[in-house]
Amino acid sequence: MDSMKSFQSYCKADELEEQAYRRRTRKRLIIIGLSTIVLIAIIIGAVFGTLFPVKSSKSKENPPTYTAESIKAICDVTRYPDSCGSSIAAIRSSSNDTDPNPGPSKVFILSMQVAVGELTRLSSLPQKIISSNVNIDPMVREELEICENLFEDAVEYINDSISAVQGGQGDEMVLSTAKINDIKTWLSSAITNQETCLDGLMEAANHAAIPQEMENATRNSTEFSSNSLAIATHIMTILQSFQVPIHRKLLKFDRHHHGREFDPRFPLWVRRGDRRLLQEENPIPNITVAKDGSGDFRTISEAVELIPKKKKTRFVIYVKEGVYLENVSIDKDYWNVMIYGDGMYKTIVSGSLNKVDGTPTFSSGTLIAAGRRFIARDMGFINTAGPEKEQAVAMRSSSDQSVFYRCYFDAYQDTLYVHSNRQFYRDCHVTGTVDFIFGNAAVVLQNCSIQPRQPGPDQFNTITAQSKTDPNQNTGISIQRCQITPFDNLTATTYLGRPWKDFATTMFMQSHIGDIVDPAGWTQWTQGVDPPNTIFYAEYENLGPGSGIIERINWPGVKPNVTTEEARRFTVESLIQGNQWLPKDSMVYESSLE
């Protein structure tokens, strides 16, 4: 009995132990199961967070901090980091800016405000110089007045850039590729304007005092403008390095750019209505000009006086066949003007202003186009001053996003002044002698006839003279699919170009170059002085007896056989942001190399 009880007690104890063991096992399994679920949740959360990052709710409460070292890092991308940092510090102090953490967007805007302030101050200097020089030379006076206008235009370009940057919230910048290109173009033009002032004074003055005074005065404004341009050029890298939120989708291609449905046959900045006007044989004009009195006016200048200022839609002037002896100026406030005629050799505007007779190069153009988005079609522009009159411009364009289609430009020295901003020339005819396509625009001449002609005694011909002064300027001359042939009996030595400024940038590509071009290809600006290594003179897939590269001059900046990738930088699509410029059935256009 006792042994039975003992056995029963043992069995009961064993059963209790078994139950306890089962309970411990279930607890372990539950703990393991819960741990596994938690671990899986952590892994899924980590993966999801990596693939689909969610902005922290604390991000607005704790924005990135930007110290003085951060401002220095931004200014380090510029050519003049010391003036960048000190000028931004000065404007913050003078405006009682107490923000301890100015972000990249604010630093960028401050840099441009610095440039605006300096240029505004500088704008009054030309009149002060005129007032203090009673017997000033008339041509120097005119150049100083040109400087005043150039400075005012530069202020407008930079203010437009500031407006383009603003629009985000806090440090968030609303940027698109098109907007960045706009800003770089306008800042490049602001620098070009300041350089143009100095060029004109050097050309006009009999002594160096006034040009030197102006050069000293513009040193700060030029540096400040350059600083802003450098920041614009590197803005995306700067924002990424500071982890600033960006509307990245806007950096990609937007089919509804600025509210307009994109047509892949055209560049982004050619509007639908402008495409139609370029295609139509006879667009309906607002005003008709005719020498015989059958139009609204007998002169183009009378018609120009009726152009509304800053008009957002096209204003069309039709000029009937004839030779119009006048100088025509489309001022900067005349936007969206189109002038068309009956043919490049039928409707001719003819002038003769020139340097020798007292007109500055900048003002000598038979046509001057400054208002944005100007279009000329089926017109001829001639300067009849001969080679003995030196600089005499047929046409100067400072018009951003301007188009010249089937136009004729005829003169000798300095025929076509592609001064600044973005320009496109298609199926045009250009003749000239010395530097006859010159300036610092971002410009493409495509499918044009370019004809050097016989210059004056002891002169040689240079087709181009590009004047880029800052490595960050998005400028250059591109000659694509053009014909380089002689005009009449040409015996003078002819070159593709010479470098006007230290960063001169020119490309001849896919063109037919006749035997009139010297085998060296390029020549010095000042005889006996080689240009700096910073120039970029390039050729790509040219044909014809003058296209041989074996004997091209051996300067570091001369690239007689660039790669396809390098050449693409000079297409309509890249250089002036074109996108298959015009439809094949009206204005044949190549946006790329193919």
Residue 258 banded pLDDT, cuts 50, 70, 90: very low
Residue 243 banded pLDDT, cuts 50, 70, 90: confident
Residue 9 banded pLDDT, cuts 50, 70, 90: very low
Per residue in 495-530, pLDDT tens? 999 999 999 999 999 999 999 999 999 999 999 999
Query: Is the pLDDT at 60 greater than 80, yes or no?
Result: no
Per residue in 265-305, pLDDT tens? 445 556 656 656 666 678 899 999 999 999 999 999 999 99
Architecture of the domain whose range is 257-575: 3 Solenoid (2.160)
Give the pLDDT of residue 405: 95
Secondary structure E strands in 200-327: 287-289, 315-319, 322-325
Residue 144 banded pLDDT, cuts 50, 70, 90: very high
* 594/592 Cα distance (integer angstroms): 6
* 474/491 Cα distance (integer angstroms): 36
Element at 116 (helix H, strand E): helix 104-122
Nearest partner of 219 among 207, 227, 230, judged by Cα: 227
Residue type, 224: F
Residue 333 banded pLDDT, cuts 50, 70, 90: very high
Residue boundaries of the structural domains of the chain: 68-251, 257-575
Query: DSSP labels for 426-458?
Result: ES-EEEESEEEEEES-EEEEES-EEEE---STT
Question: At how many degrees (to 10) do helices 209-233 and 138-165 cross?
Answer: 20
Residue 131 banded pLDDT, cuts 50, 70, 90: very high
- What's the Cα-to-Cα distance from 520 to each of 176, 537, 554, rounded to whole Å? 42, 12, 9
Residue 229 neighbours by CB under 8 Å, 6+ apart: 184, 187, 188, 191, 470, 472, 473
Residue 219 neighbours by CB under 8 Å, 6+ apart: none
Per residue in 436-455, pLDDT tens? 999 999 999 999 999 999 99
Q: What percent of the chain has pLDDT over 90?
A: 70
Nearest partner of 315 among 330, 293, 325, judged by Cα: 330
Q: What percent of the chain has pLDDT over 70?
A: 79
Average pLDDT over every residue of 63-76: 74
Per residue in 565-593, pLDDT tens? 999 999 998 999 866 333 344 456 577 78
Query: Is the pLDDT at 370 greater than 80, yes or no?
Result: yes
Give the pLDDT of residue 3: 41
Give the pLDDT of residue 236: 84
Largest CA distance in the chain: 145
Query: In terms of C-beta density within 10 A (0-12 exposed, 13-18 middle, 19 or more buried), how is residue 272 classed?
Result: exposed
425's tokens:
């020339």
Query: Is the pLDDT at 121 greater than 90, yes or no?
Result: yes
Mean pLDDT for all residues in the chain: 86
Residue 173 banded pLDDT, cuts 50, 70, 90: low
Give the pLDDT of residue 61: 45
Per residue in 84-115, pLDDT tens? 999 999 998 887 777 767 788 889 999 999 99
Give the pLDDT of residue 67: 61
Residue 285, CA atoms < 13 Å, CB-side half-sphere? 21
Element at 223 (helix H, strand E): helix 209-233
Per residue in 403-413, pLDDT tens? 999 999 999 99
* Chain position carrying tokens 């199926």: 427
* CATH for the stretch 68-251: 1.20.140.40
Q: Of 29-33, 106-110, 234-238, 384-388, where does the model show the most confidence? A: 384-388
More confident residue, 175 or 216: 216
Query: Is the pLDDT at 82 greater than 60, yes or no?
Result: yes
Average pLDDT over every residue of 152-164: 97
* 266/363 Cα distance (integer angstroms): 33
Give the pLDDT of residue 583: 35
Give the pLDDT of residue 52: 38
Per residue in 528-563, pLDDT tens? 999 999 999 999 999 999 999 999 999 999 999 999
* 434/494 Cα distance (integer angstroms): 9
Active site residues per annotation: 435
Give the pLDDT of residue 229: 98
Give the pLDDT of residue 102: 74
* Chain position carrying tokens 């230290």: 502
Query: In terms of C-beta density within 10 A (0-12 exposed, 13-18 middle, 19 or more buried), how is residue 457 classed?
Result: exposed
Count CB atoms within 10 A of the CB of residue 375. Answer: 23
Query: Is the pLDDT at 4 greater than 50, yes or no?
Result: no
501's tokens:
């400024």
